[in-house]
Amino acid sequence: MNLVLSFSLLASVVGPVDFVRDVRPLLERHCQECHGEKKQKSGLRLDVKSEALRGGDNHGPDIVPGRPGESPLIRFLRSDDPDEAMPPGEKLAAAEIDLLTRWVAEGAPWPDGVDTARIADKRDHWSFKPVQAPAVGGVDRLIDAKLAEKGLRRSRPAEPANWLRRVTLDLTGLPPSPEEMEAFLRERDPAAVVDRLLASPRYGERWAQHWLDVVRYADTHGFEVNTERPNAWPYRDYVIRAFNDDVPYDRFIREQIAGDATGQDAATGFLVTASVLLPGQIGKDEPSKRLARQDSIDEIVVNIGQTFLGLGIGCARCHDHKFDPIRARDYYAMQAFVAGVEYGERDLRSPEADAARARFQEIKAGISGIDQALSRFVPLAGSGARRSMVNARENRDRFAPVRAKRVRFTIRATNQLEPCVDELEVFATSGVNLARDARVTVSGERFSAGRHEQRFLNDGLYGNSSSWMSSETGKGWVMVEFAEEREIDLVVWGRDRQGRLNDRLATEYVIEAGDAAGVWKVVADATDRQAFDPAAREASAFSLTGLSPEEADAARRLLERKRPLETELAGLEAGQRVFAGTFRTPDVIHLLNRGDPEQPGEPVVPAVPEALGTLRLENGSPEQERRLALAGWIASPSHPLTARVMVNRIWQGHFGVGLVETPGDFGRMGMKPTHPELLDWLAAEFIRGGWSIKRLHRIILLSGTYGQSSEDSGGARTDAEARFLWRYPSRRLEAEAIRDSMLAVSGQLDRRMYGRGFNLFDKRGGLSGFEPVESFTGEGLRRMIYAHKVRREPEAVFGAFDCPDAGQSTAIRRSSTTPIQALNLFNSRFTLDAAAALSRRVESEVGSDPVRRIARAYILALGRAPAAVEISEAEPVVREHGLTVLCRALFNSNEFLFLP
C-alpha cells in the first residue's frame, strides 16, 4: 500500500509518463530481445499492446494497470534473486525502474496504433476459412492447370498391367492374381475394376490400417508393463467394417466419439487407443493420481484434434499455441468435453453381444459340468501312470479317497521367482469344494494390496490379480483347514487360470492330507508328472492313459460333448468385452498453469476453440451430451477442416503424399496445399456425395492423373519428386502390404477376417522381452492387420519397414531404407518359408519344367511374364539350386516392393 502511495506522489510531482517517449524505448532496449517479435520467452511479448497486457504463460498478466506492487514485471525488475531478476544479468538503472513503476501506477497507458510490430492474426489462415470449391472442378483439369503453370505436362497413361497392379495394391494391399490380370487385359474396364476392388473385403483391411496409424491403435497398454489389452480389437474390426460398408464419414466421426449413443459401441475404442497407466501402476500419492488422469485425458483430446481436425492442440496444454489460434483455455475447454471418459474394459453393448453373453454363461456352465465329471478320470496320483506336465492354468491331483481335516500344499521349486497360486480347491468325494470355507495359513506372503493376498487363495476368483504369492523364491506352503474331518479325493490348483501369466509356477510340489488325529499322509506330488518343460506352450491335452477301459470310454464320451461347446465358446468369448470408452460423471476441468495439475486455475466449461467455432455447453451438461455435441460440431459440412483433412488423407493414400504435405498439421506451421482448388473441390464433392469415401476413391482412381505412367517423361528436372503429378509417383509398399503380398503370392494367405489377433511374439504383452515368432502357420498366415499389435515392439522382420510404434499419431509413414530391412527380408525364416511355399505352388500349377516354372513365378509375383534374358539368367540357377532361390530373389526385388 505504502509503495503505491509513494509512487503516486512521485508521479504527481514530475507529470505523467509518456509511453512513446519514455516507456517504449526502455522496453525496446532491455526487453524485446527475448520478449519481442523473434523470441517470446515464457510466451511474453512486450512489443505489441494486446500481447503485453495479456501477459506470458507463467502467471496471469505481468502488467496490472494501476497496481505496480502486484505487477510481476515490476517485481522482476526490482528483484535481486538471480532466478527471477529481469533482464537476466543486467539490472536496469534505478531511475528507469522508477519510471516504469510510475507508468504502471498511472494505469499503464499504452496508446493504440503506436506499436512498431504487429501481431499476425492467427485465424487468418487458409484452412480455417470455409471450403471454396471452384466453379468448374475435376481432378485432371485442376492438376493440368497447375502443371501448365509450371511448364509441365502429364505423362502418357500407364501400361494397363501396371495400372492394374498399382490400383490393386493401393486399394487392397495385395497384388492382382494372374486371372484378374488376364481379365483386365481382355476387358480394359477400369471402372469395373475399381468397383470390384472397393467391394472386396480386402479393401477395408487395407484402408483401416491407414486409419489405425493415425489413431495409434495397439493391443497393449504401453508404458512399463505394456501388458495385453485383450479386447481392443473390436474397435479394429469396427474400422475395417466401416470402410468396407462405406459408412459415411460424418457418421464415422460421430460413432468414434459417441458410438455408445448411436448403436456402435465398439467404435468408442477410438477414445482410448493411447498408452495408459493401469490403476496399479499409478502412485498412491494424490499428485501422481492427478497427473496420470491429466495425461490420459490429454491423449484423448490430442487424438481428436489430430485425427479429425489435423491440428496439434496438445501444445496448448502448457501455453497458448505459438502458431495456431488455440489458447490454453481452449485446450482445457476441449478437455471438458471428454472429462467423463475413462480407459477401461467393459461389456460391449449391442443386441448381439447381449445374446452372446447369455449364451456364454450357458456354455460355460455346461463345460464346467463336463470338466467336473472329467476330473474323475484324471489318472490317480502315484498310480504308476505318467501324469501330464504341470501347467500354469490348472492342475488336478486326484487320489484315492482319504479322510482329512487339513490339506497342505508345499512348493519345492518353481520355474521362476516366488511361487504364486491363484486358487486352491479341495473337493470332497461329494463334489463340493471344501476350501472355500476353510481357514487358510501360509508360509509367508509377498503382499500386494488387491492383487496378491493370502485371502485370495480360496476366494473363488481366478487370475493373477486375485492370488497368493509366497515370500520366498522357489518355495512356500499353504494349508487349508476344514471345520471337521471330511473325505476328499481331488485337489485343483493353478497359477493363473485366466491364462495370462505362466511364470511363478510350482514345478515341484507335494500335497499332504492330515487327519483329525494329526497324522499326515502324502496324497500326491509332482514326481509322477512329466518333467516340466518351459518351452512347451500349451498344457498337454486330456489323456486317457492310466484309465480303466470303462473310465476311458466314459471320458471319451464327455470329451465329445465338450469339444463343440469349446469351439462355440472361443467364438463367443471374443465378442462380449471391449476396451473402449467407459463413461461417468465428468470431472470439473480447470485451467492449469503450465499444464501442472498442482496449479489449478479457474474452472472451464466444454467449448470448442473460440477461433474455430461457437459451441459452448453448460458446466452441468451430461456426459454423453458433451461428446455428441463435440462430434456434431466436427462432423458438420460447414466445418472448414473436417472434410479437407479427410480428403487429404485419402489423396495421400493414393499418391503417397497429400495435397497438403503435412496431413497431421493443417495449422499455420503446416505446409500449404499444392493444389488448393483441387483440395476444396474434392472436399465439396466429398460432402455433396454424402461423405462417401468409396465415391471419393472412384473420383480419384479413375482420373488420368492417377492412371498415368510412373516413368520419367522429362519432368524430373523441374519437379523431381513429382509433387505436381506430371507422373505417378512410385513408392515402396508398406510393411503390411509386403508381408500380405508375400503370403498371397505364395498361396499361403489365410483370408479369415476379424477377431482376436494372432501372435507375432511369444507373448501378448508384459514386462520382459518379446521373442518373435519365426515361422508362421495357421492363423499366423492371416493379414498383418489381424496381428496382435504390441505397442513399441517392432515386428521382427517387417517392423523395420517403418511400422508405426503406436506411441504417437502417425499421419504419414516415413519410408526409410536400411541394411536391417535388407537382412530381414533376405534372410528371415518368413521369407524362406514364403519362397519355399511359392516354389511348391508353382510346381503344383505347372509341373517341373524349369522354364515354365520360372515364367509362372514371375507372373505370380510381378504380374508379368519374364523377358527372354530373365529366363536365360534364371534357368541355370534354378536347375542347380531349385526354384526357391528365384522366389527368394523375387520377394526382395524392387519391382515386387514398389508400386509401379
The CA distance from 621 to 259, in Å, is 18
Q: What is the CA radius of gyration of the chain?
A: 34
- 115 touching another protein, by CB under 8 A: no
Size of the residue set binding another protein (CB under 8 A): 114
Cβ proximity to another protein: between 23 and 899 the closer is 899
**Window 318 to 377, contacts with another protein (CB under 8 A):** 318, 322-324
Among 8, 200, 288, 388, binds another protein (CB under 8 A): 288
Contact indicator for 581, 260 with CB cutoff of 8 Å: yes
- In angstroms, what is the minimal distance from the CB of 740 to another protein? 19
Total Cβ atoms within 10 A of residue 601: 13
**Window 460 to 479, contacts with another protein (CB under 8 A):** 473
- 311 touching another protein, by CB under 8 A: yes
Four-residue CA torsion sign, 378, 384, 389, 390: positive
Burial of residue 704 (number of CB atoms within 10 Å: 0-12, 13-18, 19+):
middle
**Window 803 to 862, contacts with another protein (CB under 8 A):** 803, 805-812, 814-824, 826-829, 832
Cβ proximity to another protein: between 362 and 873 the closer is 873
- In angstroms, what is the minimal distance from the CB of 349 to another protein? 29
Cβ proximity to another protein: between 8 and 42 the closer is 42
Q: Which window, 202-210, 254-262, 282-290, 607-615, contacts another protein (CB under 8 A)? A: 282-290
Three cell numbers, residue 821:
530391412
Site string for another protein, 240-279 (x = CB under 8 A): -----------------------------------x-x--
The CA distance from 785 to 737, in Å, is 10
Three cell numbers, residue 308:
479429425
Among 223, 542, 633, 754, binds another protein (CB under 8 A): 223
- In angstroms, what is the minimal distance from the CB of 343 to another protein? 14
How is 125-139 classified by DSSP, letter by letter? SGGGSPP---SS--H
- 222 touching another protein, by CB under 8 A: yes
- In angstroms, what is the minimal distance from the CB of 767 to another protein? 4
**Window 504 to 563, contacts with another protein (CB under 8 A):** none
How is 439-491 classified by DSSP, letter by letter? EEEES----BTTTB-GGGGGSS--SGGGBEE-SBTTBEEEEEEEEEEEEEEEE
- 568 touching another protein, by CB under 8 A: no
- 281 touching another protein, by CB under 8 A: yes
826 sits in which H/E element: helix 819-827
Q: Which window, 18-26, 219-227, 366-374, 677-685, contacts another protein (CB under 8 A)? A: 219-227
Total Cβ atoms within 10 A of residue 314: 19
- 711 touching another protein, by CB under 8 A: yes
Cβ proximity to another protein: between 259 and 474 the closer is 474
- 226 touching another protein, by CB under 8 A: yes
- In angstroms, what is the minimal distance from the CB of 814 to another protein? 4
Cβ proximity to another protein: between 486 and 813 the closer is 813
Cβ proximity to another protein: between 74 and 722 the closer is 722
CA-nearest of 851, 897, 900 to 886 is 851
**Window 643 to 672, contacts with another protein (CB under 8 A):** 656-657, 661-662, 664-665, 667-670
Contact indicator for 597, 384 with CB cutoff of 8 Å: no
Cβ proximity to another protein: between 275 and 466 the closer is 275
- In angstroms, what is the minimal distance from the CB of 308 to another protein? 13
Q: Which window, 12-20, 169-177, 707-715, 749-757, contacts another protein (CB under 8 A)? A: 707-715
Cβ proximity to another protein: between 255 and 330 the closer is 330
**Window 366 to 425, contacts with another protein (CB under 8 A):** 417
How is 638-697 classified by DSSP, letter by letter? T-TTHHHHHHHHHHHHHHSS-SSS-TT--STTSPPPSSHHHHHHHHHHHHHTTT-HHHHH
- 70 touching another protein, by CB under 8 A: no
Cβ proximity to another protein: between 620 and 769 the closer is 769
Cβ proximity to another protein: between 568 and 843 the closer is 843
Contact indicator for 824, 797 with CB cutoff of 8 Å: yes
Cβ proximity to another protein: between 667 and 676 the closer is 667
Q: Which window, 45-53, 187-195, 574-582, 874-882, contacts another protein (CB under 8 A)? A: 874-882
In terms of DSSP bridges, do strands 506-514 and 395-414 run parallel, antiparallel, or are they unpaired?
A: antiparallel
- 443 touching another protein, by CB under 8 A: no
631 sits in which H/E element: helix 623-634
The CA distance from 637 to 687, in Å, is 6
Q: Three-state SS across 740-808?
A: HHHHHHCCCCECCCCCCCECCECCCCCCCCCCECCCCCHHHHECHHHECCCCCCCCCCCCCCCCCCCCC
Among 446, 577, 695, 852, binds another protein (CB under 8 A): 446
**Window 792 to 811, contacts with another protein (CB under 8 A):** 792-794, 796-797, 799-803, 805-811
- 118 touching another protein, by CB under 8 A: no
Query: What does the longest C-alpha to C-alpha distance in the chain come to?
Result: 117
Residue 794: partners with Cβ closer than 8 Å, 6 or more residues away: 800, 803, 805
The residue to which cell 485451467 is assigned: 591
Beta bridge partners of 578: 346
Three cell numbers, residue 423:
486358487
- In angstroms, what is the minimal distance from the CB of 711 to another protein? 7
Burial of residue 177 (number of CB atoms within 10 Å: 0-12, 13-18, 19+):
middle
587 sits in the region (left: phi over 0; alpha: psi -120 to 50; else beta) called beta
- 723 touching another protein, by CB under 8 A: yes
The residue to which cell 471419393 is assigned: 696
Cβ proximity to another protein: between 121 and 538 the closer is 121
- 890 touching another protein, by CB under 8 A: yes
The CA distance from 242 to 123, in Å, is 34
Cβ proximity to another protein: between 417 and 565 the closer is 417
Q: Which window, 70-78, 280-288, 494-502, 533-541, contacts another protein (CB under 8 A)? A: 280-288
Cβ proximity to another protein: between 95 and 535 the closer is 535
**Window 763 to 792, contacts with another protein (CB under 8 A):** 767-770, 772, 791-792
To the nearest 10°, report the CA torsion of 170, 174, 177, 183.
-20
- 32 touching another protein, by CB under 8 A: no
Among 4, 145, 282, 440, binds another protein (CB under 8 A): 282
Cβ proximity to another protein: between 245 and 598 the closer is 598
- 701 touching another protein, by CB under 8 A: no
In terms of DSSP bridges, do strands 395-414 and 476-494 run parallel, antiparallel, or are they unpaired?
A: antiparallel
- In angstroms, what is the minimal distance from the CB of 804 to another protein? 8
- 731 touching another protein, by CB under 8 A: yes
Cβ proximity to another protein: between 306 and 391 the closer is 306
